[in-house]
Copies of this chain bind each other. A is one copy, B any other.
Amino acid sequence: MSYQVAVLAGDGIGPEVMAEARKVLSAVEERFSLAIEYTSFDVGGAAIDNHGCPLPEATLKGCEGADAILFGSVGGPKWEHLPPNDQPERGALLPLRGHFELFCNIRPAKLHQGLEHMSPLRSDISAKGFDVLCVRELTGGIYFGKPKGRQGEGENEEAFDTMRYSRKEIERIAHIAFEAAQGRRKKVTSVDKANVLACSVLWREVVEDVAKDYPDVELEHIYIDNATMQLLRRPNEFDVMLCSNLFGDIISDEVAMLTGSMGLLSSVSMNSQGFGLYEPAGGSAPDIAGQGIANPVAQILSAALLLRHSLKEEAAAVAIEVAVSKALRDGYLTGELLTSDQRNQAKSTSEMGDYIAQVV
């Protein structure tokens, strides 16, 4: 029996970092005698160019037949003139999340030892390190709430969006946050705006209820505005951050930037059957695409997450993570992680992939 993985490399640096992830996957497949079949599909701008829409029917069907999706990145200046609904990011990611009910987005952001200088934080703050896991609800809230639209004319023309959360939706994402915290530093910080939003009041109530099942985990609530601030002063005091869709979008990006090394961060978006979409945290970076300098680590770590969460091949996942750590420790770094006087030691995209595949 072999696993089926749908590969959606996408645009910009997507294809070149995906090639390195495939190299590393081949190496672990051999080492752990796994059988994985890969099928590639167009997505994003590439799909617009080839088929006229960012998420063609064939791609969706291909994903339906797979055990997991390994996603690259989508978007670029070429498609920015299109109406919002037809653009690569919104037109591919949101329907994929909705179609497969990928309600749970997990984004780890850790400041790697030795890379503290990359963080935009003051040295005494970054010296303390941090390791935050952002658990974001991904199929509810203001992203998908109905009604959403536009009405009226002239100066009274108005637009509206609906933020909407049910007890059920909040419960299932809260459980995931608490379970994750049990395997970590046992603290959940729930982010809301309960002093303004009805959704946040319900959110807070439900999270309090769910917390009762996890007496070993500490729970605190924080307003989104204050969270944005406290992450700057004391990121090391956060463990798991539990967020609604919109607040998670903001918080996970802020924490990712605080590491200063987005090229090392990956994320998973999962449904309740363990089917997931695995992708790097950074974007398609069209400005550096095709130059062989993009960091493939985030894509490679996405592959590790895929092995762990969707294929349940924990040993293979760990092997990749260990190999990546070794590569970073051995000074295998792409240019963006080096200071300008070290830049001549920068490794290329494929040198990174080769080394990691070799030590895996």
Which residues of A pack against B, CB within 8 Å? 84, 87, 89-90, 94, 119-123, 125-126, 142-143, 145, 148-150, 152, 154-168, 171, 193-199, 201-203, 224-226, 228-229, 232-233, 246, 249-250, 253-254, 256-258
Contact B202 A229 (CB under 8 A): no
Q: Which chain B residue lies CB-closest to A87?
A: B195
Question: Which of B120, B196, B250 is A121 in contact with, Cβ under 8 Å?
Answer: B120
CB distance from A214 to the nearest CB of B (A): 19
Closest partner residue, chain B, to A157 (CB atom): B167
- Given A89-B195, A143-B196, A228-B254: 6 more A-B contacts, CB < 8 Å: A120-B125, A142-B163, A155-B166, A159-B199, A228-B257, A229-B254
Complexed CA–CA distance, A163 and B163 (Å): 8
In whole Å, how far is A171's beta carbon from the nearest beta carbon of chain B? 7
Complex: chain B residue closest to A196, CB-CB: B143
> Nearest chain-B residue to A140 (Cβ)?
B158
A196, B254: Cβ atoms under 8 Å?
no
CB distance from A68 to the nearest CB of B (A): 25
In whole Å, how far is A50's beta carbon from the nearest beta carbon of chain B?
22
- Of B121, B202, B224, the residue contacting A159 (CB under 8 A) is B202
What's the least CB distance linking A111 to chain B, in Å?
13
Contact of A160 among B145, B168, B250 (CB under 8 A): B145
Contact residues in B for A123 (Cβ distance below 8 Å): 122-123
- In the complex formed, the residue of B with least CB distance to A245 is B196
Q: What residues on B are CB-neighbors of A224 within 8 Å? A: 249-250
Establish whether residues A160 and B162, one from each chain, have CB atoms under 8 Å apart when the complex forms. yes
Contact A201 B232 (CB under 8 A): no
User: Closest residue of chain B to A83, judged by CB?
Assistant: B201
Interchain CB contact under 8 A, B258 and A157: no
Assuming the contacts A229-B257, A253-B229, asked whether A165 and B155 have C-beta atoms less than 8 A apart, the reply is: no
